[in-house]
Amino acid sequence: MRLIDHLKSLEFSNKQARDYLGSGKVWVGGIPTRDGGREVQSDEVVIRMEAPKIRVGRGLVVLWRDNSMAVVWKPSGMLSAPAPKRDETNVLAEASRVLGAVLPVYRLGEETSGLMLVARTEQGQDQLRSLLKSQNVQQRYLAICQRGLPPDTTFIETNMVRDRGDGKRGTDRANPNAKYAATKVRTVEALGPCSLVEATLCTRNMHQIRIHLAEVGSPILGDALYGGAGVARRSSRLALHAWELSFTHPLTGAKLSFEAPLADDLEVLRRDLKVMKATKKRPITEGQEVETVGRKRRKKQSKPKSAKNNKKSKLRAKAKAARTKPKK
C-alpha cells in the first residue's frame, strides 16, 4: 500500500496527510519521510504528532544511542565532519546539538545518505575503530546504477591506488603499494537500462563502491567523477545510500542491527525508472500521449504535405484577388 493511502485509511484527510508528511510527523523505518508514494507495510509506519517541525530529508536523525556511541541518519548534502574552507554544518556539529560532544569514527561521502556511527567518548571511538579495522562492522549500501551488473558478478576484488594514471583513485594491479579492496554485490531490482544494486563492504577504501561498480561497467547514477557526464546527468546527486548497519556492541556483547529505507529522492528516482522500463517499448500511435518522468507531452501530428501545399495555394490566390480587385 502507498504511504498516502495508508494515512487516508487512518481517517486523515488528504490535506492533513500531506501536512504531516511535509512537517516530519510521519516516520517509516525510523526515518521521517515526505514521500507519500512509497510502498509501506502498516506496521513500519509511525505517526509522531509531538515531533517538532523539521525539514524532512535535510536534517540529521538520531536512531539509537547509549553512553559511548550512537547511530545517526545522514542526509545527502551534509558533510560528515568539518572541512577546510567549508563553513556549512556537518554530522558532528548536528549530532552534538542532541547528544553533546561527539567524535568521528569514519566518514560517509557528502552526497551519500544513510546510516553512520559516531562516538560519544574516546573509549567508544577506539572500540568502534577497532571493530572497523577487524571487519566486524557490516555495512550494506544501495546504489542505482547505469546498466545491470555483468552476469555472475557477485564479488569484486582489486588493488587500489590513489592515482591510477589519470589523477583518480582506481585499480592498479602492478603497483606493489596498492591496497586490497573487496566488495560483495547483488542485483536487487532491474530498472530498465538501470538497476538497483546492493553492495556490501568487505574492506574500507575511499570511494571503494563507486570505483568497483564503475570498473565493472555499472557506474552509479550521478557520479561525475567515475561515471562521466552522461551518468552524472541521470540523477541530481550520487545515487548511493547506506541502508544497513550491524555490529556487536564492544561492551555489552549485544548484536545490534539498523536499517534505513532508501532516501526519498532516491526512492522517487527508483520508481521513475521503473515506470520508464514499463512504458519504454510501448508503440506510439497517432494522437497517443507519451509518458515521461514527471510530465506528459503529446506526440505532434504532422499534416500531409499535400494538405499544407493546398492551404498555401489558397492563401496566395486570395491575396492576389484582393490586390487586383478594382477600387470603388
pLDDT of res. 148:
92
pLDDT of res. 327:
55
High-pLDDT (> 90) share of the chain, % = 78
SS3 52: coil
User: What does the pLDDT look like over 237-258, one tens digit per residue?
Assistant: 999 999 999 999 999 999 999 9
- Report CA 297 to chain centroid distance, whole Å: 27
List phi, psi (to 5°) of 179.
Answer: -100, 135
SS3 229: helix
- Domains recognised in the chain with CATH numbers: 1-56 (3.10.290.10), 57-134 (3.30.2350.10), 137-248+255-281 (3.30.2350.10)
Strand partners, 197: 143, 187
pLDDT of res. 287:
36
User: What does the pLDDT look like over 201-221, one tens digit per residue?
Assistant: 999 999 999 999 999 999 999
pLDDT of res. 325:
59
Rounded to 5°, the CA angle 133-31-112 comes to 50
Q: Residue 56 in contact with residue 64, Cβ under 8 Å? A: no
C-alpha cell at 21: 508528511
Average pLDDT over residues 221-231: 96
Nearest to 73, CA basis, from 39, 27, 36: 27
Average pLDDT over residues 291-303: 43
Residue that the C-alpha cell 506496521 belongs to: 43
Q: Does residue 293 register a pLDDT over 50?
A: no
Query: What is the spatial distance between Cα 134 and Cα 160, in angstroms, rounded to a whole number?
Result: 19
Cβ burial of 215 (10 Å; 0-12, 13-18, 19+) is: middle
Q: Does residue 288 register a pLDDT over 80?
A: no
- Tell me which DSSP letter residue 219 carries: P
pLDDT of res. 324:
62
Q: Whole-prediction pTM value?
A: 0.83
Nearest to 68, CA basis, from 118, 124, 122, 116: 124
SS3 280: coil
Residue 61 corresponds to which amino acid? V
Return the HEC string of 94-145.
Answer: HHHHHHCCCEECCCCCCCCEEEEEEECCHHHHHHHHHHHHCCCEEEEEEEEE
Q: Does residue 79 register a pLDDT over 90?
A: yes
Greater model confidence, 320 or 139: 139
